[in-house]
């Protein structure tokens, strides 16, 4: 691998950064799930484990756009933050569905890949910041009711493990 030429290394970096950007986009998306399923869902804390798992499973099946729409139904979101969420969903969808199609020529050239590398790093940073913003939102809500991050993560881990076993 170390004997790769410059173009091969650059291609590898491009695809690695795409993976990182998608990872952060998915983290943002899953934070939306946590907010919907638990933080803004009064039913969640009154429910038994199976019902809570059902709430998470149902949300995990929704698209990012559906999650934002559902969030808007559940709570009053300030217009500026709603717009921020809509932009994030558009960026996520573009990255997921159209990024390589729109960059089909760019990936073939050194200069094009440089542009893509910069763009993908910006997208990765953007989604990382969006995820942190969402995590801060639900942690504040959880802290108000006495739920520690450890309790929430343990519960989410159990749900994810059960969902994985079901597949």
Whether 94 shows a pLDDT value over 70: the answer reads yes
The residue-averaged pLDDT of 2-9 equals 89
What DSSP state is assigned to residue 75? S
Count of other CB atoms within 10 angstroms of residue 127: 24
Q: What's the predicted TM-score (pTM) here?
A: 0.83
Q: Which long-range contacts (CB under 8 A, 24 or more apart) does 101-107 make?
A: 107/11, 107/14
Listed range (45-54, 76-85, 101-110) with the worst mean pLDDT: 45-54
Summarize pLDDT for 114-146 with one digit per residue, the tens: 999 999 999 999 999 999 999 998 888 888 777
pLDDT at 54: 84
């Amino acid at each position: 691998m170390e004997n790769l030429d410059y173009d091969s290394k650059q291609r590898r970096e491009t695809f690695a950064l795409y993976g990182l950007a998608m990872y952060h986009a998915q983290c943002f998306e899953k934070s939306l799930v946590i907010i919907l399923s638990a933080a803004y869902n009064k039913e969640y804390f009154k429910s038994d484990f199976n019902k809570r798992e059902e709430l998470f499973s149902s949300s995990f099946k929704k698209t990012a756009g559906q999650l934002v729409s559902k969030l808007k139904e559940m709570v009053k979101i300030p217009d500026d933050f709603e717009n921020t969420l809509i932009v994030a969903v558009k960026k996520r969808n573009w990255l997921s569905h159209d990024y390589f199609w729109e960059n089909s020529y760019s990936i073939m050239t050194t200069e094009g890949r440089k542009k893509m590398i910069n763009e993908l790093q910006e997208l990765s940073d953007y989604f990382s910041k969006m995820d942190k913003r969402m995590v801060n939102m639900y942690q504040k809500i959880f802290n108000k009711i006495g739920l520690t991050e450890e309790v929430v993560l343990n519960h989410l881990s159990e749900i994810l493990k059960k969902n994985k076993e079901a597949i």
